[in-house]
A and B are shown apart, each in its own frame.
Chain A
Amino acid sequence: MPEPADAASAGSPARRAAPRIVGQVAGRLRFVALFAVLAVLPYLLSYSQQEIAVLLVINVLLVSSYRLLTLTGEWSLGHVVIMGVGAYASALLAKRLGVPVPLSMLIGACMAAGTAAILSFPLFRMKGFYFLIGSFAAGEIIRLIWKRFTDPFGGPKGLKRIDAVPDIETGFLSIDFYEPVNYYFLALAVVSVSLFVLYRIERSRIGLTFHAIHWQDRLAESVGVDTFRYRTLAFVIASFFAGIAGGLYAHYVGAVNPTRFGVDQMVYVLVWAIVGGTATFHGPILGVVVLTVINEIVLRGLGLDTARPLIYGAILILSVLYLPDGLESLGPRLRAWLRRRRREPAAAAGGEGGEAA
């Protein structure tokens, strides 16, 4: 039985706050460790793997922005086209009007967000499956516009020789963004800031409202939540960051065309989200990282280039069958299993002790 003084100190605010502080410190240490790994990573990769890493970082932003939209319960088939709006807008601004590339990326992202705002009027009259098909149709209309109007969109061939991110040349520092390692760090910085903003939005009151609309939209409406406005807001924010991803892609590869933003690419985004899981912030990121590494490094390394679509499909089926909650559920499952393992011998020992007594 504890002494009265001990009991008082155990219940003090300082004592109660201690585990929380430890948790926060541990969380921050995990972040520092993650950034340390990400900083060292390109130097452990081959040149072509650095190229893959650049595209992977861009896709992380794409799929994370897609998740924000899914928070409201709507799954779109037009997200990659919205990425394309950002890419085309940024490319045209830089190529035709000479707008500096970083600024053109930002304006391109705003145009992607603006496009989403306009599309939200017809699209959010629909829900569920109808929204899915409506978003696909809207995306196809945008792609047809790119194809039809050779001036300024370049028609089916798209735009090429898009201005690259300008190199940094100072007396003591020279950064050539053609080199994948340099572009990787640029993309990583942009994507990290974007992910932080997306994370804060999700954790804010707005994010909680998105969740509420997903699970109980009628109830949310009954307490005064304007679901149309919040759905539009999620769509616009997600599109802004998809537009950023588009700008990063266009100014790295130097070419965009309507096929690049077609439904095939959208299927990949869906697969990343489904395999990773969308219940947590890190689920889709896990999906895109694991599947890209398997698809672009492991399978190619094994010389299975032509069998990749087959194996990719098998992975999707297996994950839906055996990991319906996505890769993100692996951690909690593993922790639960370990807890059970720890408890079982203890319970067995307790039982034996009891019998002996």
Chain B
Amino acid sequence: MRKTLDRKLSRRKFLGTTAASGAALAATGTGLSRVSFAAADTIKIGFLAPFTGPVAAWGKPGYDGCLIWADWVNAKGGVKIGGKSHKIEFVGYDNEYDAGKARTGATKLIKEDGVKFIMMLGGDTWPGVEKIAAREGMLFSTLLPSDLSPDTKTLVAPCEVHPIYNVTGVEWLAENKKNLKTAAICAQDDALGKPSVATYLAAFEAAGIKMVDAPLFFDPATTDFAPVMTKLLAKKPDILCLDTCYADYVHPLCEQAFQQGYKGQIISCTADFYQKIVEKTSKDFMEGFVFQFPDFDDPALNAKEVNFVKPNEFYTEYAKRFGAKEWSAVSWEYASIMDLWADAAAKAGSAEPGPVLKAMKAGGTGKHAFGDAKWWGKELFGIDNALVGNWPVVVIEGGKAKIKAFKSIPAWWDKHSKLMIKHMTALGQMWNQR
């Protein structure tokens, strides 16, 4: 009897503890918070991206950045549209990078939450949403312009024209490190890796850098990167290109390169949470690592051409709230899209998707985070819905990311567009091949 009672008590205690933990999680803001205002003066913006799962690093940090953006804008009274100030409220939905859940999330955001604009990571999730966007006329944004096609009239890529900006890193390397003559490249075999490989191949060819081997595509389920790195380094390339690998791959690939004694140049699209790579390898090893996403405490972002509002303060606030090591490639991107949206809504005098899109694309130019840019993409995506201009080249120096230059993507395109189309076609990445 005593034994039974003890058992009951401990079970109850266990369940109670679990329930309390759940409640504590909710209370401490592990969930998606909503800042509410008077409904009439509030405009809701949807955030439909992965918050959990392997691609969460390109969703959740962006949502966190948007919360800072909203706090700042709302503290100033909100966005002025049609002579009236409106507060901004973000409504998040974790699509788990799944097309079916993205469809559910999009319908919830549009039909139940009444959002006026939805930001997405895109990629695998866009096909689940495409039909809803067309039917509802809702304005969507993506970070992956490979989602664009002539049919996607209400989808824009106003910030990250992935992977085209990768040409700027290669161009900078060719101009500043003329001794680098050969390269090897690897990427995960997926929708993100392939167009990026095509871009790097075009950029290397334009820069006169030869590939030592065919691109090495590894399975996204790969966990052991030792053989991948061994194969990459076998022909002793001057440049090791890590393409657009997810953070879960960039980190072990760098560790493997370090352990296998590689001392040459590394270039990568991203280096999310690079401080952790420095900790796992060394400052010397990471010295000169070239990538495309700056820390926003960089003084170079205070240049008057840069349109992102108070970048250094934004970074400081982000680091204060979430930790500097949590800063990722997307921490600022969705917030910068919101700058563009707010500007367009103010110009349109309306938050409705149609007028905002029209105002956003008026004159064929727009204020991109890194400077004035033009709406472009007809040749590559079949529609001019990608905002393209300058993009920073970032180099790790002394364990810290520093912007070395802003380089023009349209200028590169004007000279080498045929190369890009050739490599994109070879890998089946043109819009009419997808």
Q: Which residues of A contact B (CB under 8 A)?
A: 46-48, 51-52, 55, 140, 144, 147, 150, 155-158, 160-161, 178, 180, 249, 252-257, 259-260, 262, 264, 296, 300, 302-311, 314, 318, 322
A161 contacts B94, CB within 8 Å?
no
Q: Which residues of B contact A (CB under 8 A)?
A: 11, 15, 18, 21-22, 25-26, 30-34, 51-53, 60, 92-94, 97-100, 103-105, 107-108, 111-112, 124, 127-128, 130-131, 135, 189-191, 193-194, 219-221, 428, 434
Write the chain A residue with the least CB distance to B18: A314
A303 contacts B108, CB within 8 Å?
no
B15 contacts A305, CB within 8 Å?
no
A307 contacts B100, CB within 8 Å?
no
Interfacial chain A residues near B128, Cβ < 8 Å = 253-255
A306–B33 alpha-carbon span in the complex (Å): 11
A55 contacts B52, CB within 8 Å?
no
B130 contacts A305, CB within 8 Å?
no
A264–B53 alpha-carbon span in the complex (Å): 10
B94 contacts A308, CB within 8 Å?
yes
A46 in contact with B104 given A303-B34, A305-B92, A306-B31 (CB within 8 Å): no
Write the chain A residue with the least CB distance to B111: A47
A307 contacts B30, CB within 8 Å?
yes
A47 contacts B107, CB within 8 Å?
yes
Interfacial chain B residues near A158, Cβ < 8 Å = 124, 127
Interfacial chain A residues near B111, Cβ < 8 Å = 46-48
A150–B33 alpha-carbon span in the complex (Å): 41
Write the chain B residue with the least CB distance to A249: B100
For B31, give its contact among A48, A252, A255, A305 (CB under 8 Å).
A305
Interfacial chain A residues near B11, Cβ < 8 Å = 322
Interfacial chain B residues near A150, Cβ < 8 Å = 428
Known contacts A155-B189, A314-B22; 11 further A-B pairs (Cβ under 8 A): A46-B111, A48-B108, A48-B112, A157-B434, A160-B127, A178-B135, A253-B103, A256-B99, A257-B99, A259-B97, A303-B26
Interfacial chain A residues near B34, Cβ < 8 Å = 303
A309 in contact with B52 given A156-B194, A254-B128 (CB within 8 Å): yes
For B98, give its contact among A254, A260, A306 (CB under 8 Å).
A260
Interfacial chain B residues near A252, Cβ < 8 Å = 100
B25 contacts A304, CB within 8 Å?
yes
Interfacial chain A residues near B124, Cβ < 8 Å = 157-158, 255, 257, 259-260
B135 contacts A55, CB within 8 Å?
no
A257–B189 alpha-carbon span in the complex (Å): 13
B103 contacts A51, CB within 8 Å?
yes
B52 contacts A308, CB within 8 Å?
yes
A11–B25 alpha-carbon span in the complex (Å): 63
A147 in contact with B189 given A51-B104, A305-B51, A318-B18 (CB within 8 Å): yes
A48–B95 alpha-carbon span in the complex (Å): 13
A313–B277 alpha-carbon span in the complex (Å): 30
A156 in contact with B94 given A51-B107, A259-B124 (CB within 8 Å): no
Give the top 5 A-B pairs by smallest Cβ distance, nearest first.
A255-B127, A48-B108, A160-B127, A303-B31, A156-B190
